[in-house]
Amino acid sequence: MNTTDAINRNASKGTDDVRGKTIFFFGIVGMLFLGWIIFPFFIYAPVAQPVQFSHSTHAGDNVGLKCVDCHSYDKDGRFLGIPGTSKCAGCHSHTIGVSDEEKKFVDEYILRHKEIRWVVYSSQPENVYFSHATHVKVGKLDCETCHFGHEFTDKLRPARFSRISGYSIDVSGSTLLDIPSTPSTGMRMDDCAGCHNKRGHKESCIDCHK
Amino acid sequence: MANGISRRDWMKLVGGSAIGFMLTPIPWKILDESAKWTQSPSFPYGRQREIQIHSNERISFSHTTCTLCPMACGVRVRCASERGRGSLEAVGITGTKGHPISDGSLCALGVAAIFLRYHPSRLHRPVKIIGHGKFVPVSLDEAISDIARAISRSSCESVAVLDNQPDRAISHIYRKFVGELKNGFYINPPTCDGVPTRLTDQTLHTGDLAFGYDVNDARMIVSFGTPILDGWGTQRQFASISEARRCGGDKKLKLIQVETAHSRTAQIADEWIPVRPGTESAFALGMANVMVRERLCNIDRLRMYSADFDNAAGDSFMKLIEKYPPAYVSEKTGIPADKLVEVTREVARRKPAIVMFGGNPGSGPFRLDEQLAFMGLNILLGSIGTKGGLKPRGKLPSPYYGLHGSDDSNHLASMKQLSDIPDGSIGVLIMDGADSGCAIPWETVERKLSPAGHTIVSLAPYLAGNAVHADYILPSPAYLETADDVPTPSSATVASYSVVSPIFSAPKFSVRPNGFINSLAEALNIRRSSRSDFSGMEYILKKRVEKLHSMAKGNVFNAETGRSERLSGLSLPQFLERLKKGGCWIDDGPAELPPIRYSFLGGTHLPRNNVPVQGEGNNGPRELVLLPLGTRGVLTAAQSNPIMSKLYQESGLRMSANTVSVNPSTGRAAGLKDGGKARVRTENGTAYVMVRFDKSVMPGIIQASVVPLTKSPDRAEPKIEDSVIDICKIDSDSTWRITNAMIEPA
């Protein structure tokens, strides 16, 4: 009897050990799932663009526009950014395609002479300046160097802003855990400095901080 | 319990989750994002995103005038504020476009000047220094009481105010205060920018009429050691000179740099004349010799308008320059005689020509007798009062003129130079907090202090620079926090005036200089009728603006519109408003030159038989000449900002503090290694330096960089070693250009 009890106790203990380890392991795995899979959706709030624009349609073979046809430079060299709706109206004074987005765009903006309040993906703090003109004209960078693949997109992805700091994921970088801090895919100071250093523009604080 | 969830199971789940939690980005990302949030100007009331996007009403711009050096550049400060609370943070500084002095340009110091408010050595309350770098807080009343006692005690010694940026409204308050004292001195340090008024008075007899360099219209500039292309004047002047050098045809400007050191200006000048150390004036007299001998100047006219140009009796300029024929000058300066003649002919042919002689901010101004030689050359060239030469500028009204219905400016103390003050005579020294832009070796000040005991008061916002020698530091508001005015830069040919309004609030316990003077006057029982004049900077500034307005001439630049208007078309409130918002008054043109007579020898009949040629008294092969070099505005730790640290400490673009350049042959002869450490010894002390071999440095020269020390200006750190500027030999006239030195491996 005593022997049987001992065996049962040992078996029960063995089972408890396995179960305890499983629970412990489950805690780790559950938290890893929460942290790496769920948390990124929680920390960043998506904000959709007011109009869905297809770069692939405009830059593709059918239309064949180049980047600078719309994102042009002023006479004094300034980058004009996203064109105003008056420029779009050159072709879209009325609906010329079949998509719902174009119809919405023409009805709500072109016909009403209204500008689109695009959500900015890359707003920097107020003490930081970024000049497209400098990078393209002086630095001789192609648009694709930074915006690679942009011309093949059919939709504008939503901007994702941190619920805490308010910075866009395009600024802070999509890498969630960046220890030690290394240049990644964002627009943080390390990212700018990394590219500048690689291209021989070291110690260039006032290039960005004005 | 076997089938249920036990407490132990929960504990294991929590333990596993805790470990898993630390392996996720959750804590680190939240920490990172929270840190960014706290850096937002709106923290803790809002979120950064609100500042970033569609936040126009939260970003504002304020225009003002830079006070970091006397150049008076217009600045536009970009401020972020949090809605509805009014607290501002500066997030950027740029130049004011169209500003008549700077036209949108700023120097590297000005661009990052917002950081000066957060300088690591900044003091936020009055302190009493009790040892090297050690201090205790003190109340303002206690400090004033101690200082007043020291002034009362110093009946034999004098009380002096050292003002680094003269002719401001506060300068007039200092002069008024010192003028009320029995033994008061108002002192200005040497400047390297303009033409010393004392020199023009001695040579042209023009009294206190100030002259500037008309570099914009010159076709030839002969610069004796002035860093014209490296920090002299404004960035706009630099651009204008560079443009004039590039253009073709008649207007092309040629720059000849006469200087021992291979400075940045020497590197990019059209021609560098590397004279031996201390022989610049000999070269100038050699040029004068050639001009007179070859009749390249109007000798008859000079004879008519000058008593000491050529006379039968006594000393004359002709007799002096006879002793400097090209062969003799060549022997002294090391420049071939042919070259001297060639340069002189070209300078005389290529008019308008101007001779500039401010000297380097690190090595200080030339001696008066040397300056007379350069001025003589300007007179020979016919550059006085002419286009492209030295032009007189109008005088700004004193705020005390007619303040009480009479000319109170008569009671102002006269302006003195450090060299005018007898050694060991100052019992109480009050040092203003502004920066002159040029180096002031402490020994030039220290030798004037009474050996029987003295009290030094600094009004600097930082425990840095010469403020570390003070007994009391009463920190004045820092850059962008103070009400001030900016008079005409000393190198300008046209008078100008700007008012500086505070953009940010100063710390609670900071001390406004006019308030300090007012309290001190009260403690000293200085006559009550004048006491009110020491207070109320706004009032004093307004009185000065009123006087300027009554002159009804010149233009007023409106910083907000970028346009200029005639002063005569503006009412006084409008004029004041324009100035308060970063505007600038600028005169119609240079002042009218009164009939003048030239005194080549300065009316003092200086013993000019031989202009001293320094650096010749070397006792052995190891004794060399120490040449300190610096850039205006960044000579003390007080004005260092992150860009300065990048330039001087991290990038190697500029030589960092206590770094010397020597010719490889000189270095090897002294047993030095490139990149090695060395000791530089002079009769004043020893400095430990880093050595750099540079073929462009003249053999026998130790070219030293005068910049803030690389180490942190840590207030608790005692001073353990001298910098190069501390070991320079100070001459009796408070100059320190040339010092014999020895260098050896450390």
Asked if residue B535 belongs to a domain, the reply is: yes
Question: What pLDDT band is residue B86 in, cutting at 50, 70 and 90?
Answer: low
- B338 and B203 part of one domain: yes
Picking from A44-58, B14-28, B268-282, B639-653, which range would have the lowest pLDDT averaged per residue? B639-653
pLDDT of res. A163: 86
Q: Quick check: B716 pLDDT over 50?
A: no
Instruction: For A179-194, write each residue's pLDDT tens digit.
Output: 555 556 788 888 888 8
Number of Cβ within a 10 Å radius of residue B671 = 12
Q: Virtual CA dihedral for B342, B348, B351, B354, nearest 10 degrees?
A: 90
Number of Cβ within a 10 Å radius of residue B451 = 9
- B309 and B328 part of one domain: yes
- Region B648-672 average pLDDT: 84
Task: Work out the minimum CA distance from A194 to partner chain B, whole angstroms.
Answer: 16
Asked if residue B47 belongs to a domain, the reply is: no
- Strands A159-162 and A44-47, by their bridges, are antiparallel
- A41 and A124 part of one domain: no
Asked if residue A189 belongs to a domain, the reply is: yes
CB-CB neighbors (< 8 A) of B50 in chain A: 166
As for how many domains chain B has, the answer is 5
d(CA B55, CA B40): 13
ipTM for this prediction: 0.81
pLDDT of res. B134: 78
- B339 and B243 part of one domain: yes
Q: Quick check: B717 pLDDT over 50?
A: no
Asked if residue A70 belongs to a domain, the reply is: no
- A207 and A124 part of one domain: yes
d(CA B123, CA B151): 25
Picking from B195-209, B375-389, B711-725, which range would have the lowest pLDDT averaged per residue? B711-725
Instruction: For B98-155, write each residue's pLDDT tens digit.
Output: 999 999 988 888 888 888 888 778 888 999 988 766 789 999 999 999 999 999 887 7
- Strands B701-705 and B623-629, by their bridges, are parallel
Asked if residue A3 belongs to a domain, the reply is: yes
- Region B340-366 average pLDDT: 92
Q: In Å, what is the CA distance from A163 to each residue of B169, B355, B569? A: 51, 64, 54
- B244 and B385 part of one domain: yes
Residues of the domain holding B418: 127-181+410-433+442-553
Residue of A nearest to B53 (CA): A123
Contact B40 A166 (CB under 8 A): yes
Domain boundary among B87, B118, B149: B118
d(CA B692, CA B743): 13
Contact B26 A30 (CB under 8 A): no
Q: Quick check: B647 pLDDT over 70?
A: yes
Q: B83 and chain A: CB distance < 8 Å anywhere?
A: no
Q: Quick check: B470 pLDDT over 70?
A: yes
Of A20, A25, A205, the CB nearest to B642: A205
Question: What pLDDT band is residue B718 in, cutting at 50, 70 and 90?
Answer: very low
Q: B4 and chain A: CB distance < 8 Å anywhere?
A: no
pLDDT of res. B609: 47
Picking from A174-188, B271-285, B404-418, B713-727, which range would have the lowest pLDDT averaged per residue? B713-727
- Region B27-48 average pLDDT: 68
Task: Work out the minimum CA distance from A62 to partner chain B, whole angstroms.
Answer: 35
Picking from B569-573, B574-578, B607-611, B720-724, which range would have the lowest pLDDT averaged per residue? B607-611
- A122 and A208 part of one domain: yes
pLDDT of res. B40: 62
d(CA B374, CA B354): 10
Kindly report the backbone phi and psi dihedral angles of residue A50, in degrees, each rounded to the nearest multiple of 5, phi listed first.
-70, -25
CB-CB neighbors (< 8 A) of B9 in chain A: 19-20, 23
* CATH for B389: 3.40.228.10
Asked if residue B83 belongs to a domain, the reply is: yes
Task: Work out the minimum CA distance from A58 to partner chain B, whole angstroms.
Answer: 28
- B241 and B376 part of one domain: yes
Residue-wise DSSP of B494-545: S-EEEEE--SSPPPTT---HHHHHHHHHHHTT--HHHHGGGS-HHHHHHHHH
Asked if residue A15 belongs to a domain, the reply is: yes
- B98 and B135 part of one domain: no
Mean pLDDT value across chain B: 84
Asked if residue B587 belongs to a domain, the reply is: no
Most A CBs within 10 Å, among B6, B10, B17, to test the A interface = B17
Contact A167 B21 (CB under 8 A): no
Residue of A nearest to B79 (CA): A126
Q: Quick check: B54 pLDDT over 60?
A: no
Most A CBs within 10 Å, among B31, B34, B38, B52, to test the A interface = B52
User: One-letter amino acid identity for B379?
Assistant: I
Strand B158-162: give its sheet, edge to edge: B134-137, B127-131, B472-473, B455-458, B426-431, B158-162, B184-188, B415-417
Instruction: For A117-163, write each residue's pLDDT tens digit.
Output: 888 888 777 677 788 888 888 888 888 888 888 888 889 999 988 88
3-state class (DSSP) for residue B359 = coil
pLDDT of res. B726: 84
Asked if residue B701 belongs to a domain, the reply is: yes
Asked if residue A125 belongs to a domain, the reply is: yes
Residue of A nearest to B95 (CA): A210
Of A21, A30, A127, the CB nearest to B92: A127
Cβ atoms of residues B184 and B174 within 8 Å: no
Of A29, A165, A177, the CB nearest to B36: A165
Residues of the domain holding A150: 118-210
Domain boundary among B118, B148, B163: B118
3-state class (DSSP) for residue B340 = helix
Asked if residue A181 belongs to a domain, the reply is: yes
Residue of A nearest to B17 (CA): A27
Q: In Å, what is the CA distance from B443 to each residue of B50, B399, B415? A: 54, 33, 21
d(CA A32, CA B16): 10
Q: B14 and chain A: CB distance < 8 Å anywhere?
A: yes
CB-CB neighbors (< 8 A) of B29 in chain A: 39, 43, 176-177
- A43 and A122 part of one domain: no
pLDDT of res. B162: 95
- B83 and B140 part of one domain: no
Most B CBs within 10 Å, among A9, A167, A174, to test the B interface = A167
Q: In Å, what is the CA distance from B398 to each residue of A86, B167, B535, B543? A: 58, 8, 16, 9
d(CA A92, CA B152): 86
Domain boundary among B553, B575, B601: B553
- B3 and B133 part of one domain: no
- Strands B210-213 and B184-188, by their bridges, are unpaired
Asked if residue B716 belongs to a domain, the reply is: yes
- Which is nearest to B711 in space by CA: B654, B651, B649, B659? B649
- B357 and B245 part of one domain: yes
Q: Quick check: B618 pLDDT over 50?
A: no
Asked if residue A180 belongs to a domain, the reply is: yes
Q: Quick check: A12 pLDDT over 80?
A: no
Asked if residue A29 belongs to a domain, the reply is: yes
- Region B363-373 average pLDDT: 90
Two structure tokens written together for A56:
């692939």
Q: Quick check: B41 pLDDT over 60?
A: no
- B297 and B428 part of one domain: no
As for how many domains chain A has, the answer is 2
Contact B29 A39 (CB under 8 A): yes
pLDDT of res. A30: 93
